[in-house]
Chains A and B, each alone.
Chain A
Amino acid sequence: DVKVTQSSRYLVKRTGEKVFLECVQDMDHENMFWYRQDPGLGLRLIYFSYDVKMKEKGDIPEGYSVSREKKERFSLILESASTNQTSMYLCATASTSYEQYFGPGTRLTVT
């Protein structure tokens, strides 16, 4: 079974803080993704990575950055958290079959 873990289920941060969300997978998948999910808007892609040290912007990259130093680990960084970044953040991995495997999600609240 594919296992995708995220560093926190719930997180509360203050405006302006730097926030790190970490995702780890154990299936040796090349592709990893970070999404945010908001009511009525569905899943929106922030960044994705198809190899170590490779990253591509998704649909809403502003205010975020990512890091992939090892194949199994993909980190999402909020450089200076803002209240409009309050959301559910989901990490996912995929092999060449396109099927995505999701982590449990991190519900981030920025106050």
Chain B
Amino acid sequence: GQNIDQPTEMTATEGAIVQINCTYQTSGFNGLFWYQQHAGEAPTFLSYNVLDGLEEKGRFSSFLSRSKGYSYLLLKELQMKDSASYLCAHPNTGGFKTIFGAGTRLFVKA
């Protein structure tokens, strides 16, 4: 089957580092996405991993281990504006559909 698990909520302090984990099951792998969604707004693309390892993009990094069905999103130097939901997602075997996790709501406190 195709399934994605990620924590429901996390809280972190401004300036800190937070890691949001995602585990997935899929019969065919076409990459792993992370999207950010602020309350009341549409999701926006953050990162896409196809190969194992860490990809860094400014304050945000995303890691993938295909053998373990595992990814994480790392947010450094947290800012209040990072308070949002973070969605882990992967295209299905055929590639036409993207399977989304329920999202992790991150609260950044001062």
Contact = CB atoms under 8 A, between A and B. Distances in A.
Interface of A: 31, 33, 35, 40-43, 45, 48, 50, 56, 58, 90, 94, 98-105
Contact of A102 (B40, B43, B91, B97): B43
B96 A48 contact: yes
Given A42-B102, A98-B30, A98-B33, A50 B42 contact: no
A99 B96 contact: no
Contact of A98 (B8, B95, B101): B95
B105 to A, nearest CB: 10
B-side interface size class: 20 to 34
Question: Quick one: which of B35, B95, B96 has the most chain A CB within 10 A?
Answer: B96
Nearest to A45: B97
Nearest to A94: B98
6 contacts: A42-B102, A43-B87, A98-B30, A98-B48, A98-B91, A105-B40
B97 A42 contact: no
Contacts of A102: 42-44
Interface SS majority for chain A: strand
Given A31-B96, A56-B96, A105 B42 contact: yes
A45 B97 CA distance: 8
Contacts of B41: 104-105
B43 to A, nearest CB: 5
A33 B33 CA distance: 17
B35 to A, nearest CB: 8
Given A43-B100, A105-B41, 12 more contacts: A40-B102, A48-B97, A50-B96, A56-B96, A98-B31, A98-B91, A99-B33, A99-B48, A102-B42, A102-B43, A102-B44, A105-B42
The 3 closest A-B pairs by CB, nearest first: A42-B102, A102-B42, A43-B100
